[in-house]
């Protein structure tokens, strides 16, 4: 129960979660989707079976330009909808800490589209808790970007995204480069991930793919490799 509302999530728990320090990954679905779809299509546990994976369920939200019908989604700004989703995140993490041996240096968030935008909001408002974030196809708002502080980040962008314009996503990524004091020139590896040197030591990656408004399967191992490489100091 969160603020009097029943909230749900699917959770993968490794067998060692009660005895060993255990990383946690929160994975947020897009607007109109659900936790079952996010879980079935993004099995992060296959690539990091030692980590707790949480696929939360959003509550119905106004669609705005995406839909005229209320569908499951996440708040985009601090203070809206009584911060119901920020409180949900806090409660989930509190519950995991109470029941398992959570590694507080290895708590991560990723999400697609509206869930990616919420991942940015978590960075802005819960950045002291997170070790790194990996938003996908994420629209953001200036008030959120202005609250970002240095943090390892990986952004996933499809060059043929017709729902959230790639140039808008890249504008957000340019803000990330400035926040993390990164070079404007990066080095691309064989997965298509481009690494940008950070003067503050915060790993910053842009993963561009030729697809549309999706969180592609090939991004999953890249995200897990990234998460495994960073921890809070």
pLDDT in tens, 122-176: 999 999 999 999 999 997 888 898 999 999 999 999 999 999 999 999 999 999 9
pLDDT number for residue 140: 83
- The pLDDT of 86-112, averaged and rounded, is 98
Q: Which domains does the chain have, with CATH numbers?
A: 9-229 (3.40.50.1820)
Judging by DSSP bridges, how do beta strands 204-209 and 52-56 pair with one another?
A: unpaired
Total-model pTM: 0.96
- The pLDDT of 48-66, averaged and rounded, is 86
Identify any residues that bridge with 72 across adjacent strands, giving them in sequence order: 60
Count the helices and strands in the chain (H runs, E runs).
Answer: 6, 11
Encode burial over 8-31: b for 16+ CB neighbours within 10 A, e otherwise. ebbbbbbeebeeeebbbbbbbbbb
Farthest CA pair distance, the chain: 48
49: confidence class by pLDDT, cuts 50, 70, 90: very high
pLDDT number for residue 87: 98
């Amino acid at each position: 129960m969160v603020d009097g509302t029943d909230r749900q999530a699917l959770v993968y728990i490794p067998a060692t979660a009660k005895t060993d320090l255990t990383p946690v990954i929160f994975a947020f679905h897009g607007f109109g989707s659900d936790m079952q779809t996010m879980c079935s299509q993004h099995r992060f546990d296959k690539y990091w079976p030692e980590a707790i994976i949480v696929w939360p369920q959003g509550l119905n939200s106004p669609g705005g330009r995406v839909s005229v019908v209320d569908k499951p989604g996440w708040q985009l700004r601090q203070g809206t909808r009584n911060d119901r989703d920020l409180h949900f995140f806090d409660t989930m993490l509190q519950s995991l800490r109470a029941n398992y041996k959570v590694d507080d240096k290895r708590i991560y968030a990723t999400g697609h589209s509206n869930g990616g935008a919420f991942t940015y909001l978590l960075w802005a408002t819960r950045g002291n808790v997170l070790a790194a974030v990996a938003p996908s196809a994420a629209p953001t708002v200036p008030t959120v970007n202005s609250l970002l502080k240095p943090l390892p980040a990986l952004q996933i962008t499809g060059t043929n995204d017709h729902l959230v314009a790639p140039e808008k996503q890249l504008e957000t990524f340019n803000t990330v480069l400035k926040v993390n004091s990164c070079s404007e020139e990066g080095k691309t590896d064989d997965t298509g991930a481009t690494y940008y040197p950070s003067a503050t030591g915060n790993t910053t990656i842009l993963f561009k793919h030729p697809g549309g408004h999706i969180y592609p399967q090939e991004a999953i191992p890249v995200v897990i490799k990234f998460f495994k490489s960073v921890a809070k100091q």
